[in-house]
Chains A and B, each alone.
Chain A
Amino acid sequence: MSAISLEKLTKVYSTGVRALDGLDLDVGDGEFVVLVGPSGCGKTTALRMVAGLETISGGTVRFGDRVVNDISPRQRDVAMVFQNYALYPHLSVAENIGFALTNKKIPSAERQRRVRLAAEILGLSDLLNRKPAHLSGGQRQRVAMGRAIVREPSVFLMDEPLSNLDAKLRVQMRSEVLRVHKAIGAATLYVTHDQVEAMTMGDRVAVLHGGVLQQYGTPRELYGRPANLFVAKFIGSPEMNLFEASVSGDELVLGSQRLTLGPAETVLAPYRGRKVIAGVRPEDLELGGGAGGAALGADVRVVEMLGSELHVFFAIDAPAAAASALAATAGEAEAGLLTGQTLGGVARLDPRSAVRSGQRVTFRVDPGRLHFFDPDTGAAVR
């Protein structure tokens, strides 16, 4: 049985904005689920409906087997960490953390014990008498978590808790958050717009776009088998390369080049003689043609040295995925952005590779590593 399950959860604001459309999601006991998507896709809305802060326009929210739609947030036993922390500015760290316990009429000794324990877990023991104004961003973030964990909630919600921290601290806090999650073991729904955060933290990750769930699965599934063009583009950095191609016999026609498909051919049977969108991850392109795969010739445009790896931006004469196909899943603005970007792609290579801009290179591609998407619906072809 799931700790949290959402069924056809829908939110239409009174302005008419449909912020969330039929979200189905379940979070197991003690599971850490990440809700990820670009800004404005309805993540906060979903989280706030789970908390009970936003009225539900349609669908149900269950905690265990109990429907909580009509239960006040006061009685839901949820704890939430807000994006801006929402600390009480006039109360000290200790008072902030212990505030909920005073409402529960928990005796002072017990309260102090729990506050001290939470402070210890979070490394706040020396700051208990400070006011939030005198804390750093990371410390405030910890206080916000402390305030949530003293309550020993059954459901733990976090709305972009790390997005106000600087890059370095953010990375550090990721493992911190996970450690706290392990310590309290509550089912957690974690919202972020950062796909790296989602991939590194989530037991499972739900990708949301335009209020609609795109895919829900483990990070490995999302990365390895994206359900549609949006997920393919959104997860992974640098992004997956997408090309408009057509299928002719057992070959994929990419501009003037032809790639032998091998076993992938059967999947594409329905697309024979038609267009399809082919995708390949940057790390699946290897330098040097020849044995065991199809070859793809490309002109190197820009080479970016990152130290641990080399990003090689290249051009081929195949058109990038058409706007219409991306629009099906990605929305118009997004589609414009995607097509405008490349008439080629990027490869992630060994930093020792000798590649210079202007050079003509041949990439070897394992056809089994290619992803295919329907150009009209954007759905993965499997």
Chain B
Amino acid sequence: MSAPALAPPAPPDQAQARAETRRERKRRERLEERDATIPVELYGLRQGTVTLLTACCVLFAAFTLVPIVWMIINSTKTQANIFSSFGFWFARPFEFFHTFANLFRDVDGDGTYARWFYNTVLYSVVSGVGATVLAALGGYGFARFEFRGARLLFAVVIAGLLVPITLVVVPLYLVYAKVHLINSIWGMIMPSMVTPINLYLMRTFVELSIPRELLDAARIDGASEARIFFRVALPLMVPGLMTVLLLSIAATWNNYILPLIIFSTNNLFPATVGMGLWLQHAGNSGDTNLFPLLVMGGLVTIIPMIALFAILQRYWRGGLLLGSAAN
């Protein structure tokens, strides 16, 4: 009799319980990390030293944050105030929204920031996803198959790490001129999809986290190679995929020299090249009213990347670079 009466409140309770456990898991992980690190006293450090070291950390954190804080503060200022007011404090009038709105307009005839930003997102996401797909397939192939020429092919790719990008970018421009890829977004996206480091990271990840026996077991069960890849390997590759995705997106997001060379239409520029152009004009002509836009543009450019890293950081496996599965 009382059971039905009690039933309705159950779902929210359950939801809360689930939220609890997630928080509890975080807590437990933190506590376990604490238990797993050697207590500082055992090193024979005095409290004074600990304080000093913490102070060093604070100092370097301040150094790291200075330019970003400067940018945040100055994104609220007028052009005149950027020049004349104290750099690390706010000054009236509060121009943040006005400047932000200007990002959507073509202020000086060079182009619209919003357009460049859109291009950046487009190039980064498409090439990031493409790079991840290629690296996943290739890394898996190199890590778990033996075939003629595998070593040679892999060595060639790794040697690519040593090749300066300029050695590729300059001739790319010449090749593009021949095949009409100048001012084509694919001219930007395709080369961004084949970073040797991605293949190396993915192969390392597969070698460390997907046992051969698992794949052999699936083969004995009669699964096709494609099915094994998609149903068995891929789900286990998620942290590696996320790391590669993050790195590829960041690399394209930050890329400057390739778009600088292959694009001559302002409309195709990514944000980095567009802002470079603005800065050049501001420097050359003294057109300083572009400065608030540059500050704001810089801020808008970095925020999505910081957010992306923050969101995906639990998948981040920087240790792959060292050939270990640690994060």
Contact = CB atoms under 8 A, between A and B. Distances in A.
B31 A15 contact: yes
A168 interface: no
B42 A15 contact: no
B34 A72 contact: no
Interface string A63-89: 000000000111000000000000000
Contact of A13 (B35, B39, B41): B35
Contacts of B31: 13-15
A15 B44 contact: no
Nearest to B28: A15
A14 B35 contact: yes
A15 B31 CA distance: 6
Contacts of B35: 13-15
A106 B42 CA distance: 23
A20 to B, nearest CB: 14
B44 A55 contact: no
A178 interface: no
Interface string A11-23: 0011100000000
A55 B32 contact: no
A53 B41 CA distance: 10
Given A14-B35, A15-B35, A72 B28 contact: no
B34 A14 contact: yes
Mostly, the A contact residues are loop
A72 B44 contact: yes
Nearest to B34: A14
A73 B39 CA distance: 12
A72 B42 contact: yes
A72 B38 CA distance: 13
B28 A73 contact: no
B32 A15 contact: yes
Contacts of A14: 31, 34-35
B248 to A, nearest CB: 35
A72 B41 CA distance: 8
A73 B38 CA distance: 12
Nearest to A73: B42
A13 B34 CA distance: 10
A76 B34 CA distance: 24
Nearest to B38: A53
A14 B41 CA distance: 17
B246 to A, nearest CB: 31
A185 to B, nearest CB: 28
Interface in B2-43: 28, 31-32, 34-35, 38-39, 41-42
Nearest to A17: B35
A55 B28 contact: no
Nearest to B33: A14
Contacts of B34: 14
Interface string A39-76: 00000000000001101000000000000000011100
B47 to A, nearest CB: 14
Q: Which of A14, A53, A73 has the most CB of B within 10 A?
A: A14
6 contacts: A13-B31, A15-B35, A52-B42, A53-B42, A72-B41, A74-B44
Interface of B: 28, 31-32, 34-35, 38-39, 41-42, 44
Given A53-B42, A72-B44, 13 more contacts: A13-B31, A13-B35, A14-B34, A14-B35, A15-B31, A15-B32, A15-B35, A53-B38, A55-B39, A72-B42, A73-B42, A74-B42, A74-B44
